[in-house]
Amino acid sequence: MPAFTVLNPATEEPVAEVEQTSAEETDAAIARAVAAQAAWRMVAPGERAALLRAFADVVGAHIGELAELETAGSGHPAGQARWEAGNVRDVLRYYAAAPERLCGKQIPVPGGLNVTFHEPIGVVGVIVPWNFPMPILGWGVAPALAAGNPVLAKPAERTPLTAVRIGELALEAGLPEGVFQVLPGKGSVVGQRLIDHPDVRKIVFTGSSEVGREIMAGCARQVKRVTMELGGKSANIVFADADLERAAATAPVAAFDNAGQDCCARSRILVQREVYGRFLELLEPAVKAVAVGDPAREDTEMGPLISAEHRAKVASYVPDGAPVAFRGSAPDGAGYWYPPTVLAPVRLDDPAYVEEVFGPVVAVVPFEDEAQAVAMANDTPYGLSGSVWTRDVGRAIRVARAVETGNLSVNSHSSVRYWTPFGGFKQSGLGRELGPDALDAFTETKNVFIATDQ
């Protein structure tokens, strides 16, 4: 199979050549996973826990190396990349505790009792996008392994380096052969095979809603289990009574984290009309202060976009004559740079307001009252994330309940933690990842009746 050349998005220079897995090699990997399955599910819970802890420790001992790979291959700022590698370690550690708590129920029934078991589903395919190659890998892989399933992970073609290394670290930590395999390659080849192959019993897909729809249809042919984490167009709702300074100071992180290539990006800022002007005044210096540049530097906050094609797509949302209120900076020269960009005022049918840009472009629009804010926030096919800024506790709860999204924050820009459930409403996804109940998605409940009558 041909190799893919991973480019450094900050320099456009080659970083590594990665062999693409073929359909035949994918089938062979699936066969190895099936062969590993019987032994893995029978590993005693405490032993499986110990192996996952060892895996977490080995990842933890390679944070610097993994972060450097991510900075070179994906353009993530060094500090962010270290956080992401640490997130893989922490997620593995969190789910290492799960095998020993995978308890069923006993239910009294006439003539006996029923007991329930949480059985592993079987081979799980985890399909990962390019924007957060490490955390999204960990969020699917760790609970799937903890539940006793072998896992095949397909990183995005462009960003395979850290996943491949994490696969090697799993073996170093002592995970049995075939239990966790990483298959770099194309979605249309490796991903499609995972969907079509009957021995793969579940797909965990994170990516665009467009590809997600195809994958769901593919899985439907075999009634294959599927979890989907898809796109977003989240609203950051700022009421007039909010701490405007904090809301404005954190809005750039909420919108431009990972150069806006973030499914949870709060890319629409809705501001109550009476403070709209003041909010923009506060937002401007915060946006201009975002340190955009060489991701290998410790003080860099925002790196480049992933590719030239993606930059062209992002730029298409800001054509000549677009209502650019102000912008941050970006380096010239090599690299897929795009400056943090604020559009205001924006028409509500402007594609930059309606569609997922997946880049550092945010639209700021005014609203009149609570009802209109909720209606505007919900006027999208997506429903992944969002924030509410207000000092009125009742309103905070009311609005958080009324906004149709899976993950909200009140007076904070962040809502994703591995110990709380994560997932979307509407076209942002199906099912939940993370949190204390994450193993439910990787097990089947079996119900057994035991007669006690003579």
Compare residues 249 and 253 and give the one whose CB is closer to ligand NDP: 253
- For position 126 contacting ligand NDP by CB under 6 A, the verdict is no
For residue 345, cis peptide bond before it (omega within 30 degrees of 0):
yes
Q: Which residue is catalytic, options 84, 229, 301, 356?
A: 229
Q: Which of 89, 93, 154, 201 binds ligand NDP (CB under 6 A)?
A: 154
- Contact segment (CB under 6 A) with ligand NDP among 8-16, 78-86, 149-157, 166-174 equals 149-157
Q: How far apart (Å, rounded) are the C-alpha atoms in residues 352 and 333?
A: 26
Contacts of 296 (CB under 8 A, 6+ apart): 10, 71, 72, 78
Among 88, 102, 259, 263, binds ligand NDP (CB under 6 A): 263
- Which of 80, 131, 162, 390 touches ligand NDP by CB under 6 A? 131
DSSP secondary structure, 221-277, as one string: TTT-EEEEE-----EEEE-TTS-HHHHHHHHHHHHHGGGG--TT---EEEEEHHHHH
Question: Does 263 participate in catalysis according to the annotation?
Answer: yes
Both tokens of 392, joined, read 């009125």
Site string for ligand NDP, 33-72 (x = CB under 6 A): ----------------------------------------
Q: Residue for token digits 């594609």?
A: 351
Give least dist CB 414 to ligand NDP, A. Answer: 14
By beta-carbon proximity to ligand NDP, the closer residue of 160 and 293 is: 160
Stretch that binds ligand NDP, among 8-16, 89-97, 125-133, 246-254 (CB under 6 A): 125-133
Amino acid (one-letter) located at 255: A
The closest alpha carbon to 444, from 194, 195, 116, 205, belongs to 116
**Shortest distance, position 450 Cβ to ligand NDP, whole Å:** 41
Q: How far is the CB of 133 from ligand NDP (least distance, A)?
A: 9
In angstroms, the CA 56 to CA 54 distance is 5
Q: Which of 68, 263, 264, 301 is catalytic?
A: 263
Residue with token string 């960009």: 341
Stretch that binds ligand NDP, among 85-93, 170-178, 227-235, 446-454 (CB under 6 A): 227-235
229 among known catalytic residues: yes
Rounded CA-CA distance 215/217 in Å is 5
- Quickly list DSSP for 140-200: HHHHHHHTT--EEEE--TT--HHHHHHHHHHHHTTPPTTSEEE--S-IIIIIHHHHH-TTE
**407 lines the binding site for ligand NDP (CB under 6 A):** no
How far apart (Å, rounded) are the C-alpha atoms in residues 255 and 364? Answer: 11
The distance of closest approach from Cβ of residue 385 to ligand NDP in the complex, given in angstroms and rounded to an integer, is 9
Nearer to ligand NDP, 191 or 339 (CB): 191
Contacts of 389 (CB under 8 A, 6+ apart): 236, 237, 238, 239, 242, 243, 246, 247, 410, 411
In the list 21, 121, 429, 441, the residue contacting ligand NDP (rule: CB under 6 A) is: 429
One character per residue 365-404, x = contact with ligand NDP (rule: CB under 6 A): -------------------x--------------------
The stretch among 49-57, 69-77, 123-131, 390-398 that binds ligand NDP (CB under 6 A) is 123-131
Instruction: Report in angstroms how near the CB of residue 299 gets to ligand NDP at its nearest.
Output: 26
Q: Which amino acid is at 98?
A: A
Of 120, 129, 148, 150, the residue at the interface with ligand NDP (CB under 6 A) is 129
Part of the chain binding ligand NDP (CB under 6 A), chosen from 166-174, 206-214, 316-324, 388-396: 206-214
3-state helix, strand, coil in the chain (%, to 5): 40, 20, 40
Residue 115 phi/psi, 5° resolution? -120, 145
What residues from 332 to 371 belong to the interface with ligand NDP (CB under 6 A)? 356, 358
Name the DSSP class of 19: E
Tell me the catalytic residues.
229, 263
Binding site for ligand NDP (CB under 6 A): 127-132, 136, 154, 156-157, 186-188, 191-192, 195, 206-208, 211, 214-215, 229-232, 263, 356, 358, 384, 424, 428-429
